[in-house]
Structure 1
Amino acid sequence: MKIVIINPGFRKDVKDPVGEFEGELAFDLYASDNGTIKETQAYVLEIQTPHGTVVSKPIKYKKPMTAEGTSTTAPAPSPAPAPAPAPAPAPTPTPTPAPSPAPAEGPTIRVFFKGQELSFSDAKPVIKDGSTLVPFRKLFETLGFTVKWIDTGATQQAIGTKDGLTIELTINGTTAKVNGNPVGMEVPAQIINGSTLVPLRFVAENTGYKVSYSTDGNVAKIQIVDAGVVTSPAPTPGPTPVPAPTPEPEPTPTPVPSVEELEPYVVKGYLRNAQGNLIPGVTIYADNQLFYDSNIGGVTDENGYYRIELSHIPTSWIMSTTFSREYNGKEQRFYLRSDVDQPFAGSSGAIRNFTLKDIVGHIEIHPDFWSFDDSLPTFQMNDLEVTLPPVGQLFDGSAGKIITTHADVLPTGGHGVNKILLGRYKISAIWKPEGHAPMPMLLRIKGTGKFVQSLEFDFHNPLGAPSIYINEFEAKLDSQK
């Protein structure tokens, strides 16, 4: 017999073969802490041979995790160390609506972070419904988070924040938030015997680490280690009763930024948008504050990361970037400072991330005073009600919302509407002077086209100025109304 183990750790998101063999082989199958094989559920086993793929009959796990059903294609295996005998194969597994709760007792759980074993004094880790839960404060602080506990009476939340990353876990809630984006979980955070426990794998992998699981007798070992790039979390589907002969290729997931250590005379980080998608091909500048107009640049790679080696001079540095992105067929230029907008000493190095978010513009409105009859009230700009429904997705990918507001004085001078999320909108306006019935207005983009009741528009960069997005309109009273 010859066995070559290719994938000693079971990974739910990777379809690697588990090994090769010649002759007869007997083995035990167990589920790790990813929760994909549970009591009362069924599975099938596929073995690839030089003569094709051999598929077993459905095998069902009973309580307490005793396999029911055997392979129909291989000879009877040698006695296995498991005490429970395998009964005759069941022709059709009987599905169960939901898995039963895990037994109260389980293996001894040891958790290691970068090779160093963690000590849990207040509460011990537990395995529940196939997932490992650990005390939330110890895990978050080990991973470098600042922790916060919120209890409103109706809801309780455990929140961790570090370097532009925020993870929010609601007690007994199966949906968490990572930087405000909802992400599903199989097992929620929960309070057990007065202690708050959270799913270890979910938190660690969303922080950029890799988690591995192994057992030795009645001891379960969980390793949390660095990972250059890991996949974004996604809800784990339940086991499929009968697998498809040829699985469809899975799309490449968006990588989650890794957590890195500081390096002397090195600054590094990532550039992403508000949804957490990493942005490649952008030049990031480290500007030293000793010499005027002296900087060093580095370009974000295909994963949105950059790394710049700094000059060995006694100075501090500040980070920024200027780049262009297309939206609705127009090039928009952006100027960003790093999320942590503070200078740092070159000798200590730094991690400086950038997030493209909260991009806003403004519109200016110029009234045609000759269109107002002398019999009407005096025109005041703050009596002009402007409505701006979005057309399609905004620049940040969101659906946006209808804006209804009054024209006001702009910080740059003139009148209009300020702080509009960058996107395409349709504009209309109504004049509502006090003591008079509302009167519709006609609009046009300044100096172009005819006056109409409403029109669609985009923002633009005047003279190519980065991060300044405007449009200007002329408005006059609709004399036909």
Structure 2
Amino acid sequence: MAHFPFHRSIKLFFILVLLLSLPIPSVFSEGTVVRVYFEGEPIHFTDAQPLIKEGRTLVPFRKLFETLGFSVEWIDTGQLKQAVGTRDGLEIRLTIDHNEAKVNGSSIPLDVPAQIIDSSTMVPLRFVSENSGYQVTFSTTGSEASVQIRTAVSNTLVEPYVVKGRVVDANGKPVEGADIFADNQLLYNSNLLTVTDVNGYYRIELPLLATTWNMGGSHTLEGYVVDLTPEIDKPFAGNTGAIRNFTIESETVKGELYLYMDLNSFIEGYREDQVELILTPVGPLAGGSTGKVITGHGHNFPGGFGMNDVPVGTYKVTAKHTSTDGESKQLLVRKRNEGQYAESAEIEFSPLVEGIYQAEVEVKVPK
């Protein structure tokens, strides 16, 4: 199969530059050393240590409940095992290996259940703390994670050496689990990372350094990594602190659609820049938007020929060729190197590297 050249060396060069320029992520995963603090003071666990499982922090139930002021009870009927904490009219009941907990009798789903690990009863820290009225923030430095449990305070008051804020979607709803980073402008590749809580809030405590910080973040929606849009996009001094809120806008996720031609079927008078592509969204785009039909001709851009800045998602693609004398002819299309040519083809943008998406389509003149 032949196709028009598209400066592949240029494309590979840009890919290499992008790969080398991407930040090295700090991984908050199983095996990470976890330090837990309550109102700024470390919690010392003796029987077992906090651990990460399926992206959630589990801690020994008795020490956590007692630190938060609960009376604790362990129920074991043989078939049913429960960890129960009560405090001032509040009851939190977690059943071992059960994906629902009860808060004052109401069932609430859990991402990770309470469980017995190496003879210690471990419970999800964030769930217990936030349902007790506390705010939980996470940050990572190297292979260590720091978890802060604090009394919930106003998110509109600027605090020295603290950056905090909220992430919402285009409709103003809070976004849980969005990744937020504070980029240290003094030390290379020393970002502080955290995630938003169930109400979309985050908080990062900054080290006592004479430096400025930039904020950024991302979130995964519909299988795509979506960049967060800051309300205020400018650096701030660590000693003054800052509030930086973000929104998720699907329009920020764009990809490149590469157009290839079947040279064996193209005859004199047919040119690649006269091929018109019609992209009809199939299902939601990144971020959940419905999207619009996109019609356009291919053009050269760094890396190849086709259409760039296309909102990522899945599309039904059709194509036609319009000659200089105005004659229009329907073309056959397919996803590049896959299946048979047809009047339309379904293509889906996929990541080249994290945050960079592309799709490829081939067109052919019918016999």
TM-score bracket, normalised by the shorter chain, equals 0.5 to 0.7
Q: Match of 2:318, as an amino acid? A: S
Q: Measure how far apart 1:471 and its partner are.
A: 0.3
Who is 1:338 aligned against? 230
In the alignment, is residue 459 of structure 1 matched against residue 349 of structure 2?
yes
Name whichever structure is richer in helix by fraction.
2
Letter in 1 for 2:281: P
Aligned residue among 361, 367, 389 for 2:255: 361
Match of 1:348 in 2: 240
Asked whether the 8 Å contact 2:334–2:341 carries over to 1, the reply is yes
Q: % of aligned pairs identical?
A: 39
Q: Distance in 2 between matches of 1:390 and 1:335?
A: 21
Matched, 1:392 2:286: no
1:271 partnered with 2:151: no
Separation in 2 of the partners of 1:398 and 1:334? Answer: 12
Gaps (5+ residues) in structure 2? Answer: 1-133, 135-153
The one-letter amino acid paired with 1:315 is T
Q: 3-state DSSP class of the match of 1:347?
A: coil
Is 2:280–2:293's contact at 8 Å kept on the other side of the alignment? yes
In the alignment, the residues of structure 1 paired with residue 177 and residue 236 of structure 2 have an alpha-carbon distance, to the nearest angstrom, of 25
Alignment correspondent of 1:293: 189
Bigger Cα Rg:
1
Query: Distance between the aligned counterparts of 1:341 and 1:416, measured in 2?
Result: 32
Q: 1:451 to 1:422 in 2, by over 3 A?
A: same
Which residue matches 2:126?
none
What aligned pairs does 1:109-124 form with structure 2 within 5 A after superposition? Answer: none
Letter in 2 for 1:439: K
Q: Distance in 1 between matches of 2:206 and 2:279?
A: 47
1:469 is paired with a residue whose SS is strand
Give me the whole-angstrom Cα distance separating, in 2, the residues matched to 1:396 and 1:292.
Answer: 31
Asked if the contact 1:381–1:415 (Cα under 8 Å) also holds between the matched residues in 2, the reply is no
Establish whether residue 468 from structure 1 lines up as the match of residue 356 from structure 2: yes
Corresponding residue pairs, total: 214
Structure 2 counterpart of 1:362, one-letter code: E
| 1:2-40 deviation per Cα after TM superposition (whole angstroms, max 9, x unaligned) | xxxxxxxxxxxxxxxxxxxxxxxxxxxxxxxxxxxxxxx
Determine the C-alpha separation between the residues in 1 that align with 2:237 and 2:262.
Answer: 55
Q: Which has the larger strand fraction?
A: 2
Q: Which residue of 2 aligns with 1:310?
A: 206
SS in 1 for 2:264: helix
* Residues 424 and 456 in structure 1, CA contact (< 8 A), matched pair in contact too: yes
Do structure 1's residue 380 and structure 2's residue 276 form an aligned pair? Answer: no
Counterpart residue type for residue 360 of structure 1:
K
1:394 CA drift (Å)? 2.8
Alignment TM-score, normalising by the size of structure 1: 0.42
- Report the Cα distance in structure 1 between the residues aligned to 2:244 and 2:308, rounded to whole angstroms: 30
Q: Deviations over 1:382-406 (max 9, x none)?
A: 2111111222333333332221211
Contact map agreement 1:333 1:461 (CA 8 A) in 2: no
* Structure 1 residue 259 displacement after superposition: 6.0
Distance change in 2, residues 1:295/1:259 (3 Å) = closer
CA drift of 1:335 comes to 4.3
Question: How many Å separate the matches in 2 of 1:281 and 1:402?
Answer: 31
TM-score normalised according to structure 2 size: 0.54
Q: Say whether the 8 Å CA contact 2:155–2:164 is kept in structure 1.
A: no
Cα distance, 1:309 vs structure 2: 0.8
Instruction: Determine the C-alpha separation between the residues in 1 that align with 2:312 and 2:273.
Output: 23
